[in-house]
Amino acid sequence: DYFKTASSFASLSLLAAWWCSFSSDVDDAQMKIVQKDTDATTDTAFDASDENEEVRDENTRRYLKSSIHEQRESGIDPDMLPKHIAVIMDGNRRYGRAKFGSASRGHWSGSKTLVDFSKWCLAEGIQIVTVYAFSTENWNRSASEVSTLMNIFCKYCDELRIEALERGICLKVLSTETDKIPPDVAEGIRKMVEETKHCNKLTLNICLSYGSRGEIVNACKSIAADVRDGNIDVSDISDVVVGSKMLTHTGDSNDGATCTTTNNHSDPDLIIRTSGEYRLSNFLLWQLAYSEMFFLKKQWPELTKADLLDIIRTYAGDRQRRYGK
């Protein structure tokens, strides 16, 4: 019920955060939205616990359309920026229980953080963001919870498509077990992915019904079929060939849609995981071979732009990616 009138782009983050098996916490200072009018400036408090849904959603829309956090702040040469950031958004449910006494209310806090995070990445010139939304293991949750999550996504697919088109965001949904996705959800995915494939400001990969081991197995099956059909010789199989079969590779999403973002097939330059956990949880195991890893003790909704800027600056200034040399 908390999400009945969620705004279109906020619904993306709501969706991803809801589907994470994770939890959250929110920095009250981060939830401030400053709406600048032509002749006056007003402060509007955005509170995840606000019972007035219309006020909450209007504040989210204001933030998205405002110029707040739209300027580059890292000061890093664009050539030194990470092109691709992967995120394990951990901490939503735990935060919800701690702050609100309700895990589900923590998901809204996490969704707001993903709204912010996407806007920060757009401002800094990040080309690709890949988020872990719903794993293949998450199907083992209760039938009622899974049904609720699928219904939420089905409801907001069209709104999400419209918002992504307005902001130039190319949406891709990466799945390794597509047969489990309900038909109405699959149709919503197909439409929003197809209609946003020309967008080029940011590629947002949403990993839904995804498991990295399954992705690697599927890649092996595809290569085996290519060998059987005479399309490739066994001696020609290389890491490049295997990599081309990964779902993050250009043109190899589940529905074949291709985003036009530059280098949208690149592996993540860095991965962020919040909540103090130190594991990958079956996420992008092939792609993260040379990625820089950042583990934060903060819950996902506590993340601020200052945290992202610190990560970007550390990546550009302190980390040396030598690839074994």
* Residues assigned a catalytic role: 90, 138
Dig out the tokens for 8 from the structure: 């279109």
Is the Cβ–Cβ distance between 254 and 175 less than 8 Å? yes
Instruction: Provide φ and ψ at 132, rounded to 5°.
Output: -90, 110
How far apart, in whole angstroms, are the C-alpha atoms of residue 156 and residue 5? 10
Instruction: Provide φ and ψ at 172, rounded to 5°.
Output: -130, 135
Dig out the tokens for 252 from the structure: 């190899």
Distances (CA, A) of 106 to 110, 167, 219, 245, 299: 6, 26, 36, 36, 10
- 23: which DSSP letter? B
How far apart, in whole angstroms, are the C-alpha atoms of residue 309 and residue 315? 10
Is the Cβ–Cβ distance between 71 and 62 less than 8 Å? no
